[in-house]
Structures are given as structure tokens and as C-alpha cells.
Chain A
């Protein structure tokens, strides 16, 4: 695996002051997210290693990638880019600053436009050797009675294009209750980030089977929440 250089010129602003400011904001946000939720990271099926990985997680709130991202040790975090929807995160300058400069995220379009591949920016960063944080449900699951929405096919295509990259399920518990839709003030409830075993994928697996395997493995981690 090739480790990309520390400073990545594609998205980050070049000015030192702005970079320091972004780092400070990132530190404050990570610390407060961890303080608020009791920050429990459980490495159940794998260890935090310097390997190229696709971390995929359940999506219930805008802050869940922050919690997952802050669960990673610093060196790994620097090599891991969250994937976020451009229609939300590029809406105004502040959000753009947050996602691009502080979280070094990659934004993608949820819908296909003009025959271009919406996953292309994701494939580019994987090509560069970064790990990614990916939410295969595509949108936030706001329903109290459904644990996990049907996965979109993106995860399957990424795993097909990059078969050597480990695909790791990550269950994020309780965030739906910490920050429900329309909430401005988060509740100080406990939340856990649980990392599972990398998926054992054979290339023969078709799309439907791959996606259902990925969903099952993710839901299995829910059992570990209170252990």
C-alpha cells in the first residue's frame, strides 16, 4: 500500500493560518463529540492498523462520521477521508470549510448527473491510498422502528474496483437519540463506535448477496453495544 504525503494539495487551502484554524476547529469538534457521548470505541473484529480500509457505518445523524473519525488514532485518522453528500455539505461556505478543511472530507453527489460516475471522487482518493468512511444507506435513517435502511450499491462497486482494500463494518449506536432530526442541542447520551471484522468477500459474490452480507455483518455488531 502506498502512503500518500501528509499534506494533500487537492482540497486543503494553502494558507498556514487557515490550516491551523481548521486543525483547531477539528480538535474542538472531536473533543466535544467525544465528551458529549462518553466516547467508547470498541475494536471488536480488528485492530486500529495502518491498512487501507473502507469503514462503512450506519447513518443516523450528521455528526456520526465525526464520532467514527475521532475514534481512529491520529496517524490513521490523517489517512482516512469521510465521504459526505455534496447537497448538504456544500450548501454554504461554513459547511464547505468544515467538510473540506477540518475533516478533509470528500463530497459526492447523491444522484447521477450527465452520465458521470458519482463515485469517481471516492475512487480517486482510494486510488491515492487513503482509507474512507462511507455510509452505504445513502441517507440518514430517521425512523425509530428500522435499524438499518437498504444499502445502495456504491459499497459493492467500490469493493469490486478495489478488491485489496479491507471493508470494515462499524456500528454507531444511539446517535439517532443524541441528535434527532431538527434538533439543535445534542443530548448527552452514551454512544459507542463498534468496529467489526473485515468482510470476507469472494469475487464470485453478486451484488445482492454482497450487500445483504454487508448489512448482516453490520447489524451483528449491535449485540456488542452493552457488553
Chain B
């Protein structure tokens, strides 16, 4: 990172830390006001804020350590996400071999391809080669029960948890025209806008929420929350457009697109959870649920964001 860019990256983290500091103070005051009265909403809020501190520190460390650390971090995120995904969806003994290569070969190899910037392979490795290899690897046990369903589940898990997530570090590979900032900023802009959209949807929903968007899929999401969250997060994207090659309208439009895909991503992943009769993917992140609960919106928006940039800016 160039010295000047590094300075701006520090500034960005200082802003995030400032926002969290304000949130923590509000959480502290709320907790203090509630006194001895137990309030699950406030406790959950504080747990979420504390988890955000940890996520910010982990992300900042990886970013400051450089490209390899950032790729390794997302490889680990994929590992945790795929583990939650497969744990929740029952597989059979015959799926041992395909799962073995998914966890121990496909995750590292996909990220290795991202590292070596072999776009021609990392963009089709899981959609094509894993798609063909998974059912082949399932053949060995000759267990035909739910065969298509089992292969489809593993393939789907790899697509969401590995392929889509790997597009975040893949942003570092893009050589954009008319862009002199650091490439990591693109990833930071995406993560910031999408995660802010999640948080602001939650906040707006709690403050003004009346009408539910999809009461069966996700009882906590409201129309007021959705509109407020998406508009505010896109506005944040506009305010932070100095991290990107976008002009004002481009930043607003692309911010809107990634927020909307993120929103639908949350609903799709929620539909899978409801089908399995659970509320959260796991217990990894205090107050948030599992890894997949936190990254579901990024999974759906990262590939879209990548391809928008690749198509129009390279």
C-alpha cells in the first residue's frame, strides 16, 4: 500500500471504530437505564456491538497484513460457512468422499486460484468442475437414496459459501481504469455498504417497522426497515465514493444494487433455515448467530459487484 493510501485506510478504520464507540456508549447507557431489569433486546444489542468490534479488528488486521492474509481470512470464512451449511443439511455416509474433497481441496484451491489471479479457472472451477466432480465422488458407496438431492446440496453449499465468498478477495485482482486508490478499498466499500444495509434495516425496522415484508421467511424484516436501510446504506455508499472509481450516480445505483441483492440473499438463506426449522445457522458469533447469518447478504452481492466492475471498469 502506498503511504498516502495507507493513511486513508487508517482513517477509514478510525471512522468505523468511532461509529462502534458511539454504538457501544449508547448500548452502555441503555443497559444502565434498564438497571436491574432484564432486557433481552438490549443484551442482544450489546452482544451484537461487541461482536462487531471483534469483526472489525479481525478484518483490519487482515487488511493491514496484506493480500495473502485477506485471502486466508476469506478462506477461513468459507470453511466456517460451509461447515454450518453442511451440518444443518443431513448428508449420508456416501457423501463422505465428496465432502472430504469439498472441505480439504476445493476451498483451498479456489482461494489459491484467486491468489494467482487465474480468472479463467476460478470463475468456473466450482460452477463447472465441482459440479461434475461432486456426483462422481458420491458414486463410490453406491447409495442411491436421495442421490440428486444430496449432490445438489453439496454443490449449493460450495456455490454460496466458497464460490460467492471468494469474489470478495477476487476484487483485489481487478485492474480498474481511472482508479488510483488501493484495491482493498473496493472490498471495504462493498462490505461496508452491505453490512450497513443489514444493520440499518434492523435499526429502521425496530424504530419504524409496521408492515412485514415476508412474515413466513423472516418475521423480523419490515417494509419500513427495508426501505430505510437500503436508502441509508446507498447514501453511505455515495458518501464513501472516494474509495471507488464511481461518480455520484454510479455510486448510488451500484449501492442500491448490492443492497437489494444482499436483502434477497438474506431471505433466501432464511428460507433454507425455516425449512430445517432453525432460527440461526450456528452459534459462532455472539448475538448474530452463525457465520452464515452474518455473511448471507455479502454472498449474494459480492459476485454481482465484481462483475459490474469487471464489465464496465476494466
Interfacial residues, chain A to chain B (CB-CB below 8 A): 38, 40, 142, 144, 174, 176-177, 180-181, 183, 185, 187-190, 226-227
Q: Which of A142, A144, A190 contacts B83 (CB 8 A)?
A: A190
B93 contacts A190, CB within 8 Å?
no
- Within the complex, the shortest CB–CB distance from B150 to chain A, in Å, comes to 11
Interfacial residues, chain B to chain A (CB-CB below 8 A): 79, 83-84, 86-88, 91-93, 95-96, 99-100, 103-104, 143, 145, 276-278, 282-284
- Within the complex, the shortest CB–CB distance from B132 to chain A, in Å, comes to 21
The number of A-B residue pairs with CB atoms under 8 Å apart is 43
> Quick one: given A189-B83, A189-B87, are A180 and B93 in contact (CB under 8 Å)?
yes
Q: Which of A176, A180, A226 contacts B88 (CB 8 A)?
A: A226
Ranked nearest first, the 7 interchain pairs of A and B with the lowest CB-CB distance are A190-B87, A226-B278, A144-B92, A180-B93, A189-B87, A180-B96, A187-B99
B86 contacts A226, CB within 8 Å?
no
> Quick one: given A180-B93, A226-B88, are A188 and B282 in contact (CB under 8 Å)?
no
Interface of B is mostly: helix
> Which residues does chain A contribute within 8 Å of B87, judged by CB atoms?
38, 174, 189-190
> Which residues does chain A contribute within 8 Å of B143, judged by CB atoms?
144
Q: How far is the CA of A187 from the CA of B105 in the complex (A)?
A: 12
> Quick one: given A174-B87, A187-B103, are A144 and B93 in contact (CB under 8 Å)?
yes
Q: Which of B99, B103, B277, B282 contacts A38 (CB 8 A)?
A: B282
> Which residues does chain B contribute within 8 Å of A176, judged by CB atoms?
93
Q: How far is the CA of A144 from the CA of B79 in the complex (A)?
A: 25
Q: How far is the CA of A180 from the CA of B141 in the complex (A)?
A: 12
Q: How far is the CA of A181 from the CA of B96 in the complex (A)?
A: 10
Q: How far is the CA of A179 from the CA of B223 in the complex (A)?
A: 45
User: What would be 17 A-B contacts, judged by CB atoms less than 8 Å apart?
Assistant: A38-B284, A40-B283, A142-B93, A144-B93, A144-B143, A180-B93, A180-B96, A181-B93, A185-B100, A185-B104, A187-B86, A187-B96, A187-B100, A187-B103, A190-B282, A226-B88, A227-B278
> Which residues does chain A contribute within 8 Å of B84, judged by CB atoms?
190
Q: How far is the CA of A180 from the CA of B96 in the complex (A)?
A: 7
A188 contacts B83, CB within 8 Å?
yes
B92 contacts A189, CB within 8 Å?
no
> Which residues does chain A contribute within 8 Å of B278, judged by CB atoms?
226-227
Q: Which of A144, A180, A188 contacts B103 (CB 8 A)?
A: A188
Q: How far is the CA of A40 from the CA of B280 in the complex (A)?
A: 15
> Which residues does chain A contribute within 8 Å of B86, judged by CB atoms?
187, 189
Known: A187-B96, A226-B276. 11 other contacts (CB 8 A): A38-B83, A174-B87, A177-B93, A177-B95, A185-B100, A185-B104, A187-B103, A189-B87, A190-B84, A226-B88, A226-B277
Closest to A226 in B: B278
> Which residues does chain B contribute within 8 Å of A183, judged by CB atoms?
96
Closest to B99 in A: A187
> Which residues does chain A contribute within 8 Å of B276, judged by CB atoms?
226
- Within the complex, the shortest CB–CB distance from B101 to chain A, in Å, comes to 11
> Which residues does chain B contribute within 8 Å of A190, judged by CB atoms?
83-84, 87, 282
Closest to B104 in A: A185
